[in-house]
Structure 1
């Protein structure tokens, strides 16, 4: 059972100041290990760190605090993947895996994954009456009150101090957010597809199913001819969320009216093997941020890429290892990015300083032997490949964060956080107890636009989320008495990319 150990873990997280700081100092080795998994035996302060072996320095990242030498275990432990762990009911030990498999397993494992077992998405029972709200502080106060009431009701049924509760713009701004998306799709459908094709919509990761209902309600209310030709398909990896979407679809007479148009498919998009030749809109709203990434570091002297793996030892502690053997998926990403983004100046560990300066800096005593990490969105690349090969006539509509505060150190690095006693607690590494931490990444939309075009052959347009909703939303619906507009002013760190 997880509960007693997990409760101790979260209490330790809540009590340590390091979890709210970006700087991890050498003396916090014990605390870092606690944040990663559970407590380990602290080394006395007077005892010198263990001597690093030649073998270890070839594999293990050198940092200001020297980790235990796990090179022998790295050599003998078997490599596993997130796919091979799907049937496991307990978190693995004595194994190693690529970072993307560790993240995928942490977020999506059917038995202990974050989205499979521990996530609750805030549901706003009644839409906010924005024209009656005084200003943004008043909106925030009302939102906080509804959040507390929502969680109080959950606690009446089953108290959970480690409940992972968060919200989405679909829920905050319903039905107006979904109506704007629907308005965009209907306008483009009637411009180029109607009446020769049906309006076919695929949504990836539909949460509570609120966006689906808002879109279908709007089309039914505004255009009966288009509604008669509308089909809606949800692709949902989480069995719990798929069941919730089905319940919400059957909750009221109005929603039950859509039942004949909706299909909920409980599977991962990465297991998709059906060829969809018909034109369709493909919605992927706030899903890129939870796609698994690989971790890369580079040799500062030779610029050689090195791919990161995660070792899980017999005690359940995590260790990073790097090797020059880059697996085919990560190697393909680097090749496609190099070819597609030749003229784009994007952030990269080898572009932050000259080769000479890197060599000098890393040759200093106790300096890291590799660059800062770069997290590359290999799963997102695979998603683009699926769109290009399985949905050749698709039109992508996606929105996600182009920047995130409080990220872990590195390039394109994630925010890693959990929630305990209704408090959000950020940590400084993605190597954390699987299933209890959200691991979310920013999206470099410039790089991803170039890669999407290279992989699918489709043209795109990228804009800020604010610009998109200025065009497709009715501004008066979400404008407060002060003149502030919640739909435009919130999520300013998000962008929208659409296929044109």
Structure 2
């Protein structure tokens, strides 16, 4: 009827980090860890992490011929059929009721989406660096490598002089995805021609320790949503922050705790955010202090605010860019809003797939590796923090605004004038360094 009091076990258990767990082959027990370390371990552990072992990226096969489709419903129907065919083929070799399958705009709108990004890169490179510097492109979290191939194909076919100066480097934390990218690079005669242009670096961006002084472009497409976050709750009367930790018992069950001690990474995030935004950001304590005090004396009133999830890993990524890539220009796209999030401010969607159906849950503390944990990005706050840390200027556009500027939108228009490239991903934004 009542949950066990695990306070004593929690206090007597060692604190571990995701870095310490990277060499482990089994999920940890009888330990405690910060929320961000639990999320990082769940998603990226080499032995049991979601992206390392479970996730499969959907590839629809031949590009969709949008001009021959009647409307968006026909595109959705055809996409559903290709999804089924794709998974049927996988089940013929390895049946799996809990396969984690997901898609990206790069795959759905191949090659048009990648070509739009290639035009952005070519235009800015020719304006700012050509012919004095090479076109150096870094991509973090490149999935199947499709975006890389679409960009290189387009530059080779339309701008041979720029292609001669192009170098493409992928930074990929997942060993299995790094191998897949290498395979796709050598799969066809067209892609084999890019081999001398490409370097695949199998490591985490957070392990980067090499200065890159040359001007370069850094692509991070749908990456921020899977960056680990810390969980913070506040005393509604004193406004004191408390940092979330999770205790994993001997059976593998999870228990959430909040400590008044804030570790240096989360503490720095709170300071930098406040300074960069002037104190203007969403917060669990945005209501008046008098109202909070009145609520606190009510019977059964909670003694802490709802949780706030802060993107500490994102701040650390900006630190890496500022320190090791001083000449970078960032191009990133991600979701500014997500449906079906769990409770809290800037809270994630936590979900898995079972028997080809999506199953959402209400907590991030779930069996490691079998659940996707993805967060919305507050671009208003993130843009100001990026500027404060790197000293660079930026522009934020909606997904549609960016594609109207750089895509040949007539290539993805259906017969009745609808355009899935523009209308899908309405909940995404694009940030660029200017």
Residue number among 287, 296, 313 corresponding to 2:223 in the alignment? 287
What corresponds to 2:383 in structure 1?
Answer: 449
Q: What does the per-residue CA deviation read over 1:101-128, in whole Å, with 9 as the maximum and x for residues that have no partner?
A: 0000000000000000001000121000
Structure 1 segments (4+ residues) deviating >6 Å: none
* SS of the residue 1:491 aligns to: coil
Query: Aligned runs of 1:294-443 on 2, under 5 Å?
Result: 294-342=230-278, 344=280, 346-351=281-286, 353-443=287-377
* SS of the residue 1:366 aligns to: coil
Q: What does the per-residue CA deviation read over 1:246-279, in whole Å, with 9 as the maximum and x for residues that have no partner?
A: 0000000000000000000000000011110000
Structure 1 CA distance, aligned partners of 2:392 and 2:419?
Answer: 33
Structure 1 CA distance, aligned partners of 2:84 and 2:215?
Answer: 43
What corresponds to 1:97 in structure 2?
Answer: 33
Q: Is 1:465 matched with 2:420? A: no
What corresponds to 2:193 in structure 1?
Answer: 257
Q: What does the per-residue CA deviation read over 1:222-241, in whole Å, with 9 as the maximum and x for residues that have no partner?
A: 00000000000000000000
Structure 2 CA distance, aligned partners of 1:372 and 1:243?
Answer: 42
Query: Structure 2 regions of 5+ residues with no counterpart?
Result: none
Offset, 1:314 = 1.2
Structure 2 CA distance, aligned partners of 1:225 and 1:433?
Answer: 51
Q: What does the per-residue CA deviation read over 1:347-405, in whole Å, with 9 as the maximum and x for residues that have no partner?
A: 11011x11121122233222221000000000000000000000000000000000000
Query: Aligned runs of 1:181-196 on 2, under 5 Å?
Result: 181-196=117-132
User: Contact between 2:273 and 2:279, CA under 8 Å: does it hold in 1?
Assistant: no
Structure 2 CA distance, aligned partners of 1:362 and 1:126?
Answer: 59
Higher deviation after alignment, 388-397 or 310-319: 310-319
What corresponds to 1:7 in structure 2?
Answer: none
Q: Is 1:111 matched with 2:47? A: yes
Higher deviation after alignment, 400-409 or 309-318: 309-318
Structure 1 CA distance, aligned partners of 2:93 and 2:251?
Answer: 35
Offset, 1:74 = 1.3
Equivalent residues, number: 434
Query: Structure 1 regions of 5+ residues with no counterpart?
Result: 1-42, 44-48, 50-66
Structure 1 CA distance, aligned partners of 2:189 and 2:292?
Answer: 65
Structure 2 CA distance, aligned partners of 1:82 and 1:406?
Answer: 27
What corresponds to 1:129 in structure 2?
Answer: 65
Q: Is 1:273 matched with 2:273? A: no
Offset, 1:343 = 6.2
Residue number among 169, 178, 185 corresponding to 1:233 in the alignment? 169
What corresponds to 2:136 in structure 1?
Answer: 200
What corresponds to 1:75 in structure 2?
Answer: 11
Question: RMSD across aligned C-alpha pairs, in angstroms?
Answer: 0.7
TM-score with structure 2 length normalisation?
0.99
User: Contact between 2:233 and 2:305, CA under 8 Å: does it hold in 1?
Assistant: yes
* SS of the residue 2:19 aligns to: coil
TM-score with structure 1 length normalisation?
0.86
Q: What does the per-residue CA deviation read over 1:207-226, in whole Å, with 9 as the maximum and x for residues that have no partner?
A: 00000000000000000000
What corresponds to 1:489 in structure 2?
Answer: 423
Structure 1 CA distance, aligned partners of 2:160 and 2:245?
Answer: 53
Structure 1 CA distance, aligned partners of 2:183 and 2:342?
Answer: 37
